[in-house]
Structure 1
Amino acid sequence: MSLETARAQAVSLEGAPGKAISLEAAQAPTVSLETAQAPTVPWALALMADPALPPPVVAEPGADRSLTTRQPRLSWPLSPVPVIIKYFDAPDTPFGPGHRGVDLAAAPGQDVLAADAGVVVFAGSVGGRPVLSVDHDGGLRTTYEPVVPKVAVGEQVYRGQVLGTVLAGHPGCTVAACLHWGVRRGEEYIDPLALTGEVGEYRLKPWGGGR
């Protein structure tokens, strides 16, 4: 076979279906950047299907993704969110002076709401003022005063349920009525605002624990 004949046969085989092709033609196909995008995630499909849906909450790169959906440990006991009349001031000792909760501006007769699901463990008078206490998961106990109760000891309550109504006459209140809201974990008093995601008021104390 002549050299010209061999070349002609090779050319015909390259273009014939099912035949061997050159190495250059057998390379993997090139994929453009436009077609190499990441696969569409389910929420993106939902948005394309219904543009009226709100966009999802997407965490910034490197951020704690649980923060985007985390619910505050406790909800506010008054609605709407009240003005804070007096902030939490942790005592230096278990029986020392301080303010073991926060005072929230309210209207006489305003509904008091359970800060979380739990069980009513106290509904009675302390120092001549009506007080309600509710135990919650995690060893937390919330206390509300002065409150005319609408629930009884042993009753299970849900988050946001009406526990009673605010009674005017809380000592030191500078408005028509104040709800004193306290939180304990065991014997330790905790700033309720820290559990709602609100920033409390912090006061620096002298070295040695003096006031």
Structure 2
Amino acid sequence: MAGPDNPPEQRFGWPLTGFPAVVRGFHRPAFRYGSGHRGVDLAAVAGAPVLAAGTGTVVFAGMVAGRAVISVSHDGGLRTTYEPVTAIVNAGQRVTKGEQIGTVQPGHAGCPVAVCLHWGAFRSRAQAPNPGEAERNYVDPRWLVAGAKVRLLPMDPA
């Protein structure tokens, strides 16, 4: 799984231009179907270009449970997802890092600001450290980005 001791096979970039603000962080679920946040929400503007975070192949571009989703498969068994996004790519299409794959749509449920992009990352079961533990397959996508800014939060005094 990508992290400080296990970097991804390729360098990834942010799926939005610049350094977007993370308005809702990653929270790994305790078990396979448990609650959690399997990605990060990035502050965005409706209609903003969504960029492929890394080179790969679009494996899905369509609707899932009423949400517009794009999934890109990358070398090494990593898959990134983007939602809600109006796609300008099709399944089977090869994309390169930084290439526009769609535009941000408003209406992401749970977003704490007016508009945000949900960006997720998932390592396939075959590539996961513990393939039988699906909850461990989710990756905080911030680890994929070289030079990501780390911000420490104050400790809770309670």
How far did residue 74 of structure 1 move? Answer: 1.5
How far did residue 196 of structure 1 move? Answer: 1.1
Alpha-carbon distance in 1 for matches of 2:138, 2:16 = 20
Counterpart AA for 1:135: S
Greater RCO between the two (CA within 8 Å, min separation 6)?
Answer: 2
Task: Map residues 107-126 of structure 1 onto 2, 5 A cutoff.
Answer: 107-126=45-64
- In the other structure, the counterpart of 2:145 is 196
How far did residue 127 of structure 1 move? Answer: 1.2
5+ residue gaps, structure 1: 1-70, 203-211
Any conservation in 2 of the 1:194–1:200 contact (CA below 8 Å)?
Answer: no
- In the other structure, the counterpart of 2:35 is 97
- In the other structure, the counterpart of 2:103 is 165
Alpha-carbon distance in 1 for matches of 2:43, 2:115 = 6
* 1:120 partner SS: strand
TM-score (norm 2): 0.79
Identity level (%): 53
Greater share of strand: 2
How far did residue 176 of structure 1 move? Answer: 2.4
* 1:103 partner SS: strand
In structure 2, relative to structure 1, the CA distance for the partners of 1:201 and 1:135 (3 Å cut) is farther
One of 115, 118, 125 as aligned partner of 1:180: 118
Q: Please tell me whether residue 156 in structure 1 is matched to residue 94 in structure 2.
A: yes
Root-mean-square deviation (CA, aligned residues, Å) is 1.8
Task: Map residues 10-21 of structure 1 onto 2, 5 A cutoff.
Answer: none
Task: Map residues 18-57 of structure 1 onto 2, 5 A cutoff.
Answer: none
Alpha-carbon distance in 2 for matches of 1:138, 1:191 = 16
How far did residue 195 of structure 1 move? Answer: 1.4
Q: Please tell me whether residue 131 in structure 1 is matched to residue 80 in structure 2.
A: no
Alpha-carbon distance in 2 for matches of 1:123, 1:201 = 36
How far did residue 175 of structure 1 move? Answer: 2.1
Alpha-carbon distance in 2 for matches of 1:114, 1:201 = 28
CA radius of gyration, larger in: 1
In structure 2, relative to structure 1, the CA distance for the partners of 1:200 and 1:129 (3 Å cut) is farther
How far did residue 106 of structure 1 move? Answer: 0.2
- In the other structure, the counterpart of 1:87 is 25
How far did residue 80 of structure 1 move? Answer: 1.4
- In the other structure, the counterpart of 1:19 is none
Q: Please tell me whether residue 74 in structure 1 is matched to residue 12 in structure 2.
A: yes
Any conservation in 1 of the 2:24–2:112 contact (CA below 8 Å)?
Answer: no
Greater share of helix: 1
Alpha-carbon distance in 1 for matches of 2:95, 2:10 = 18
Post-superposition CA distance 1:77-125 (Å, at most 9, x none): 0011111110000001111110000000000000000001100000111
